[in-house]
Structure 1
Amino acid sequence: MEAEASEVPFDPTNVDLTTADPVQIICFLSEEGNEYDGRLGARVAALFVILIVSTLCTIFPVAARRAPGLKIPSYIYLFARYFGAGVIVATAFIHLLAPAYEAIGPASCVGMTGGWAEYTWPPAIALFSIMVIFLVDVIAERYAEAKFGASHGHGDGIEGGVRTESEVAGEATSSKVTSMAGFSQEPKLEVGSGNVNGKLSDVSGEYGEDSGYNRRDFYSQFSAFLILEFGVIFHSIIIGLALGVAGEEFNTLFPVLVFHQGFEGLGIGARMSAIPFKPGSWLPWILCLAYGLSTPIAIAIGLGLRGSYNPGSFTANVVSGILDSLSAGILIYTGLVELLARDFLFDPKRTRDGKKLAFMLTCTILGAGLMALLGKWA
């Protein structure tokens, strides 16, 4: 046992609950050890299944937006996009912050030991992460404005004064690209009938000319996206390691993680599809593959360390608890600010079609609900 609260050796076979140190009991119970029970072939198969599913789910929203030849109906793209947004929010709270409490929270072995017992660290670390991301976002916005000489276009006009025709035209062009709540041409969406007037390729438009405003918008959104992807990848690595050394729970954990990674992939892809990459750029496809590879690589590492890696050890709990807390803060900020607030509250191009808006909200809530439900098993 790595954390002992007293000099008296702890004998788990002879415990007097009236005198025993609760820290010793909690630490003994939480150190589950390595439960690897063979089935190497099934674990290798899981590696490839998760690789394929997570990569394809990540690619789909990007391909739907960047490949007009696919002629994907707009309601399918809308579903993937806003379902993924709900998944990101649920992942932050259910799949990151809750496990962080289990690893380093007040009721955990780590949280009852030494300096970890002096404060409730998971929300503090998440708050630190949120504030850092907020500052990075502000600095990136200011840098882009100074470099490209353009405003964001979401202001209330208090300091705006009179804009030139070129500024208005640039804003109109970019809004077609960056609006996540609608397209440059409003397709009529009949919820429930599956009938959409027009394909996605007819309404999504091109990515706009390479104006200073578009370059500024790209750098701003891309920096925020990289932070989001790193946060999700940290989480994917942790669960991949756990799957590689799981025991009897492998039978349940494997199918749940397939859906888990697929849903997260939709969220990552949905966020990436809104970024105005240059036509023909390979960068979005590389980023899709990076997410798809994260969990399989972690599973492979877990299999390589199956004889020594202990996911319940004191050190493993500290590392996973800190990373989960940091990632939770990243996804909370991104999900609530960059996705929900910016799309539904502050986007001047938000759709005025009531049925379409209801469909988008339903997809968001459905994504959050299903991802929260998966938290019962993984």
Structure 2
Amino acid sequence: MLQLGIMLHSLVIGLTLSITRGPEFATLVTAILFHQLFEGLSLGIRIAGLPESPTQGAFRRLPGHILKPLLSTMFALTTPAGIGIGLVAFAEHGAAERVRRVQGFMSAMSAGMLVYAACVEMLAGDFVMDAMMWRSSLRRQVLALFALFMGVCAMSFIGE
């Protein structure tokens, strides 16, 4: 579920990037590079931690040596695919108002998916359901939450 949500988010990010023009483009590219780097690292950690043979879900028949590269490749291709779809779908530059509306809608959709994936899937998995975090010291838990907070601050600063 996390993989699907992040891939859909990356597709929308690619679509948003393809319709952005002017000085906003450089800011958006910088924010997306930073964002996709850390999203890829966190997703890579999740993919690496998958069991060699999943017992549940749609991929239960795929062995781990096929599933892990498949999921990684799917994530790597979604943002460029979104950019390509956006370039083809919005090739005409005359509909500035329509492009602005679509850009706002896509940005809102991306933000919603990111908040869901971050809060429900990743934070719950790392801080609430992780047995190692429960057994770790209070100092380590506070340090992990502080690092999370600093990451949130850095993302908001770059998105500014």
Quick check: TM above 0.5?
A: yes
Match of 1:170 in 2: none
Asked if structure 1 preserves the Cα contact closer than 8 Å seen for 2:19 and 2:90, the reply is yes
Match of 1:340 in 2: 127
Deviation at 1:284, TM superposition (A): 1.4
AA matched with 2:41: L
Question: Which residue of 3, 20, 25 corresponds with 1:246?
Answer: 20
Asked if structure 1 preserves the Cα contact closer than 8 Å seen for 2:19 and 2:103, the reply is no
Structure with a larger share of its residues in helix = 2
Deviation at 1:276, TM superposition (A): 2.2
Match of 1:297 in 2: 81
Is 1:273 matched with 2:48?
Answer: yes
- The change in CA–CA distance for 1:287 and 1:255 in structure 2 (over 3 A counts) is same
Deviation at 1:290, TM superposition (A): 0.9
Question: Which residue of 95, 100, 104 corresponds with 1:312?
Answer: 100
Match of 1:230 in 2: 4
The runs of 5 or more residues in structure 1 that have no matched partner are 1-226
Distance of 2:25 and 2:103 partners within structure 1: 19
AA matched with 1:272: I
- The change in CA–CA distance for 1:334 and 1:280 in structure 2 (over 3 A counts) is closer
Q: Where do residues 1-378 of structure 1 align in structure 2 (5 Å cutoff)?
A: 227-248=1-22, 249-278=24-53, 281-308=65-92, 310-313=98-101, 317=104, 321=108, 324-325=111-112, 328-343=115-130, 347=131, 350=134, 352=136, 360-376=144-160
- The change in CA–CA distance for 1:293 and 1:252 in structure 2 (over 3 A counts) is same
Larger Cα-atom Rg: 1
Distance of 2:143 and 2:87 partners within structure 1: 43
Deviation at 1:265, TM superposition (A): 0.8
| Count of residue pairs brought into register by the alignment | 146
Distance of 1:375 and 1:311 partners within structure 2: 21
AA matched with 1:241: L
Asked if structure 2 preserves the Cα contact closer than 8 Å seen for 1:233 and 1:291, the reply is yes
Distance of 1:271 and 1:231 partners within structure 2: 14
Distance of 2:119 and 2:138 partners within structure 1: 27
Deviation at 1:348, TM superposition (A): 5.8
Deviation at 1:328, TM superposition (A): 3.2
TM-score normalized by the length of structure 2:
0.69
Asked if structure 2 preserves the Cα contact closer than 8 Å seen for 1:241 and 1:298, the reply is yes
Deviation at 1:291, TM superposition (A): 1.0
- The change in CA–CA distance for 1:322 and 1:260 in structure 2 (over 3 A counts) is closer
The runs of 5 or more residues in structure 2 that have no matched partner are 54-62
Asked if structure 2 preserves the Cα contact closer than 8 Å seen for 1:272 and 1:284, the reply is yes
AA matched with 1:372: S
TM-score normalized by the length of structure 1:
0.33
Aligned-residue CA RMSD in angstroms? 3.2
Asked if structure 2 preserves the Cα contact closer than 8 Å seen for 1:245 and 1:303, the reply is yes
AA matched with 2:116: G
